[in-house]
Structure 1
Amino acid sequence: MKPWLLLTAGILLLTLGAIWGLQGIGVITGSPMTGQKLWFGIGLVCAVAGLALMAAGTRRTSR
Structure 2
Amino acid sequence: MRRSLTLLPGAVLVLIGLLWTGQGLGWIGGSPMTGVTLWAVLGPLAALVGMVLLVRGARRVGGNGR
What is the TM-score of this pair, normalised by structure 2?
A: 0.91
- Distance, in Å, in 2 between the alignment partners of 1:56 and 1:9 is 12
- Distance, in Å, in 2 between the alignment partners of 1:41 and 1:60 is 30
Mark the structure with the bigger radius of gyration.
Answer: 2
What is the TM-score of this pair, normalised by structure 1?
A: 0.95
1:9-35 C-alpha deviation (Å, 9 max, x unpaired): 100000101000100000000111101
Show structure 1 runs of 4+ deviating over 6 A: none
Give the CA RMSD over aligned residues: 1.1
Unaligned runs of 5+ in 2: none
